[in-house]
Structure 1
């Protein structure tokens, strides 16, 4: 059975031209909540480094970052599976290309930013533990190149991702409040 046939039989689960299915919406909004946590923890680390709030939020930064990494890969694969029957992006060719470029940049950074932190952790010869499970034990050789790449780019690309997410939110609100089209409704309510 083809993916298109499966999608036609389960429009609530899969995306359709009328809206996003439950899996796409759960990944989108779940990751939005995780990103809110991540950017809160990073902002508190920079602006209130000695606060109890920073300590609380930062304690989960690695765990949530690794979770975002896994979900971003899952979301990308789910998006590829649903690509033929997703809602159209924009009324003009320029809008479609801009939306597709923006989505591609968002997804690329959702994978690259946590990957840099994971590689930096491994390169520092630290144990890499996620949600209490040690995935990589300490004790290997240090790798200065991995550490340097993570130090140079993780934070910078993380804030670039924050700006892209802010732009994504602004455009969703523009479509909803100014254009009054169904762009936001398709991600809120799924297929109609």
Structure 2
């Protein structure tokens, strides 16, 4: 365990279990984190099904059919999560000092940037397309009556896929570091998001 990473202490009387504290993330942050994790798992499983089973497979078609709807939901959730993080900025757990803390800050910053950018590119493409789209069957975002707008479609065509897989690579790296924190360094960092502080 890096010596400059202090082990969190137990907070016996948090002001609110829903708010973040320096010792652990509150329920709101944890619900957003784990809910989004499940949605990302679904998203990448769908893309993996499409790649391995082919576009014409019934299961792959079903999974891909949910992709745009859940992608927009994830965009909304990451914006909510970012706003919540800013509201709790002074009270939430911090990063370690030195190179490890810098790497963690860059890693988390890159995750957030891609979680916003990847679905935003897809949203721009959807708005510029000539195909109708009603989000979750409730909100019509494109009635399909307009022409294609190439400058809105081109960025997603060029970057949505590659940045999506880059996001997956960062997520895998994030998971690896969680395992290192919990199983190798045993420094209590992982427990801050799991909900227990040792």
Instruction: Give the aligned partner of residue 143 of structure 2.
Output: 137
Q: What does residue 174 of structure 1 align with?
A: 180
Secondary structure in structure 1 of the residue aligned to 2:134: strand
In structure 2, the CA distance between the partners of 1:89 and 1:60, relative to structure 1 (3 Å rule), is same
Aligned-pair CA distance for 1:37? 0.3
Q: Does the C-alpha gap of structure 1 residues 136 and 9 become closer, same or farther in structure 2, counting only changes over 3 Å? A: farther
> Does 1:46 pair with 2:51?
yes
Distance in 1 separating the partners of 2:15 and 2:131: 45
Please, which runs of 5 or more residues in structure 2 have no aligned partner? 1-12
Change (3 A) 1:143 1:59: same
- Normalized per residue, the structure richer in helix is 1
- In the aligned structure 2, how far is the partner of 1:81 from the partner of 1:172? 25
* Alignment size in residue pairs: 184
Unaligned runs of 5+ in 1: 1-7
Q: What's 1:5 paired with?
A: none
Q: 1:131 to 1:10 in 2, by over 3 A?
A: farther
TM-score, normalized by length of structure 1?
0.90
Give the root-mean-square deviation of aligned CA atoms.
1.7
**TM alignment of 1:179-190, pairs within 5 A:** 179-189=185-195
